Amino acid sequence: MVIVMRPNTQKKEIEKIRRKMESLGCSIHASQGESFYLLGLVGDTSKIDPDQIKANRNVEKLIFVQEPYKKVNRLFQPLDSVISVRDQSVGGKKLAIMAGPCSVESEEQIITIAEQIKESGASFLRGGAFKPRTSPYSFQGLKEDGLELLKLAREKTGLPIVTELMSAEYVEKFVEDVDVIQIGARNMQNFDLLKEVGKTNIPILLKRGMSATIEELLMAAEYIMSEGNEKVILCERGVRTFEQYTRNTLDLSAIPVIKKLSHLPVIVDPSHAGGLWWLVEPLAKAAIAVGADGLMIEVHNDPANAKCDGQQSITPERFKSLMDTLKAIANIENREL
């Protein structure tokens, strides 16, 4: 951390800050630049609250050298994390493909789709039981009944199930019922929820918020890990920009960047990113080519009558042919599907 003092700050004010930092356990390297006086902090700066330094009216700016996260930081854990889920895993050589409908609608629907995607090579079943919707008048999911249907589908196919948790109230139930708890983009900074799932020991799929920086996504993962749960899977699903043709702008650069900064696995959701079914295939291929550890894809057997997100769901047939292409791309990168 480097503190830049305002020009013409009095010596005694600089002395005050210097002593305060030293009292917090840091040693100081001071240097007088052309126009600014700098205080470089050496030592464990993790106990220092940057807000408090910036609050000092003599401080021009504060410059961070080290990233603010620890447990997610690759610097302190150089090897890739691999998260085991039943007999599957996320983060290793094999890519994790999570597929299924936006929302669970009926026993027949979820079992049919589960069987189809399994046959095509998917390793996880996704499906919403509790649905976050922009409008209070839209379908909100089958809730507990949806969870039961997901369990039935798991029984039939053996596929581990991934579904979104929206409220701390249901944490215990989810821990019992599901294999991976998804935290949606809108709740990425619902810190109370992050802490609650951090106290469980079940894998958490954490989606990047629509306007979250990569650093904020990693800090949200840090919230979960700091409570003890180290099984975190990250997911890029598009960020909000000025471009309106697509629902969001998929940020594929985030994949190699996250891989550099963190040891956690990261997958891509091409369905929510573009919001258009015909974008799912090209974006899925690009995601594998860029180095993602897996995908989350919306598949529906009757998109035109889906209760939600039909416009961004692909059919089981298209999913099957997509999987073949993905396999070929994965092989080039020495990975498996």
Subset of 189-218 contacting a copy of itself (CB under 8 A): 189-193, 195, 209-211, 213-216
Which residue in 222, 230, 269, 293 binds a copy of itself (CB under 8 A)?
222
Q: Closer to a copy of itself at the Cβ: 9 or 189?
A: 189
Show the tokens assigned to 39: 């205080």
Residue 317 in the binding site for a copy of itself (CB under 8 A)? no
> How many angstroms separate the most distant Cα atoms in the chain?
75
Residue 105 in the binding site for a copy of itself (CB under 8 A)? no
3-state secondary structure at position 181: strand
Which residue in 152, 171, 175, 257 binds a copy of itself (CB under 8 A)?
257
- Least CB distance to a copy of itself at residue 264 (A): 16
Count of H-run helices and E-run strands, the chain? 11, 14
Nearest to 117 by CA among 321, 310, 304, 264: 321
Show the tokens assigned to 141: 């999911």
Check if the beta carbon of residue 172 is closer than 8 Å to that of residue 148: no
Residue 279 in the binding site for a copy of itself (CB under 8 A)? yes
Which residue in 123, 157, 163, 313 binds a copy of itself (CB under 8 A)?
313
Residue 158 in the binding site for a copy of itself (CB under 8 A)? no
Near a copy of itself in 8-37, by CB under 8 A: 29, 31-36
* Strand duo 294-298 + 96-100: pairing: parallel
Q: Closer to a copy of itself at the Cβ: 152 or 227?
A: 227
3-state secondary structure at position 9: coil
Q: What number of residues does the chain have? A: 337
Query: Any alpha helices (H) in the chain, and if so which ranges?
Result: 11-23, 50-54, 107-120, 144-157, 171-177, 191-198, 214-226, 254-261, 270-274, 277-290, 316-332
Region from 92-100, 117-125, 128-136, 147-155 binding a copy of itself, contact rule CB under 8 A:
128-136
Residue 43 in the binding site for a copy of itself (CB under 8 A)? yes
Region from 83-91, 112-120, 175-183, 299-307 binding a copy of itself, contact rule CB under 8 A:
299-307
Which residue in 303, 319, 322, 337 binds a copy of itself (CB under 8 A)?
303
Residue 287 in the binding site for a copy of itself (CB under 8 A)? yes
Cα-Cα-Cα-Cα dihedral sign, residues 119, 120, 121, 122: negative
Show the tokens assigned to 226: 């700091």
- Least CB distance to a copy of itself at residue 155 (A): 28
Which residue in 167, 201, 321, 336 binds a copy of itself (CB under 8 A)?
167
